[in-house]
Amino acid sequence: MVNGKIWKDTDGNPIQAHGGMIARFRDTWYWYGENKGVPNIPGTTRVEPLGVSCYSSDDLLRWENRGVVLPVPEGVAVMERPKVMFVLQTGRYVMWFHADSEDYTFAGCGVAASDSPAGPFHMIHIIHPNRLDSRDMTLFTDKDGKQYLFHSSDYNKTMVISELTEDGTDVTGDYTKILAEQEREAPAVFLTRGTYYMISSGCTGWLPNTALYAQTQHLRSGWKLTGDPMSGPDSRRTFEGQSTWVFQAGEEFFLMLDHWHPYDLQSSGYSILPVIFDEAGTMTIPWQDEWNGV
C-alpha cells in the first residue's frame, strides 16, 4: 500500500474508512471508518455521510469489505471518527462517533452497539457527554479495564476525558479537562511502558498542520505536550496527514493518518507509520513510502 494514497480492498474498490481505527477482535483485524464514497456536495468540503464501514483482514494488508455496519441515524449530517471497543461486562462491541449538524454546531456523540465486531451496530442514543460539546473524539481502554472518551470540547480549545459507564454506552458524569486552551483535535491515545501518550493535530479544519504528542504517568492528570514526533520530508505538516488512531500489533505501535482531500473527500488517502521510542520514552514517527503490514 502506498502511504498517503487511497487504498483498495480485496474487490479492487477504494477503501472507504476515513477517520478510522484498526483493532484486533476474535483473532481478526477490523478497520472501521467513515464511508465518504460519494462526491462532495458541490462547492463544499462536506459529503452526505454513508455510515460507518467495516473491513476485515488477517494480515493488515488485504482488507475485505464487510459493508456498512452502522447506517446514518436520522437527522445526522456529519458522522465522523467512529471508534469501537469491546466491553467486557456485556460482551458487546460499542461504537462511539462524532455526530453533528451540517455546520458542526450540534457537536455531539453517537453511541451504537453490536454483539459481533462485524456488526450490525444498532444506535442507542446521541448525547452531549457531560452536557459538553464534543467534536473530534476517540476511545481508550485503560489497563484496569475502565473505558474513556477523549473529546475536543469548549469549541475545540480543551480536551476532555470522560469516564464511561461499565456497559460502555454512556458517561458516568466523572470527567477531567486536560490541555486547556491548547486547541488540539484528532486525538489518538495509547499506553506503553507505563506512560500514556496522545498524538493529536492542531485545529485547521481539513488542512494539515503540526502534530504534537502529549504524555503523562497518570491518565487523569499531568498531561503535557511534549513535541512533534514526525520525522522526514514535510514532517511539520504531518506528511500532509492527520492522526486518527494508534494500534498495537505484537510489540509494535502504529499510527494511522488520514490524508484529506477537502474538495473530494472520498479520494482522501491513508498511511500507517511505525511509532518508535528511545530509551527515555521520546517518540519518533518516521515517514515511510509504503505500508507492508507486519
Peptide bond into 14 cis (omega under 30): no
Provide the mask over 116-155, with x wherever binding to ligand DGJ is found by CB under 6 A and - wherever it is not.
Answer: --------------------x-------------------
183 binds ligand DGJ (CB under 6 A): no
Strand partners, 100: 78
In the list 205, 222, 232, 281, the residue contacting ligand DGJ (rule: CB under 6 A) is 205
Would you state the cell numbers that stand for residue 48, as one nine-digit string?
452526505
DSSP 179: S
Structural contact between residues 13 and 53, judged by C-beta atoms closer than 8 angstroms: no
Number of residues that bind ligand DGJ (CB under 6 A): 9
- Does residue number 269 form part of the binding site for ligand DGJ (CB under 6 A)? no
CB 107, min distance to ligand DGJ, A: 10
Query: Cβ of residue 196: shortest distance to ligand DGJ, in angstroms?
Result: 21
d(CA 276, CA 272): 13
Taking CB under 6 A as the criterion, the residue among 4, 19, 241, 269 binding ligand DGJ is 19
State whether residue 201 is helix, strand or coil.
Answer: strand
By CB under 6 A, the residues from 80 to 99 that bind ligand DGJ are 80-81
Note the Cα 236 to chain centre separation in Å.
Answer: 20
Q: Does 186 bind ligand DGJ (CB under 6 A)?
A: yes
Contacts of ligand DGJ in 22-81 (CB under 6 A): 80-81
Burial of 43: CB neighbours in 10 Å, binned 0-12, 13-18, 19+: exposed
Q: Which residues bind ligand DGJ (CB under 6 A)?
A: 19, 80-81, 136, 185-186, 205-206, 242
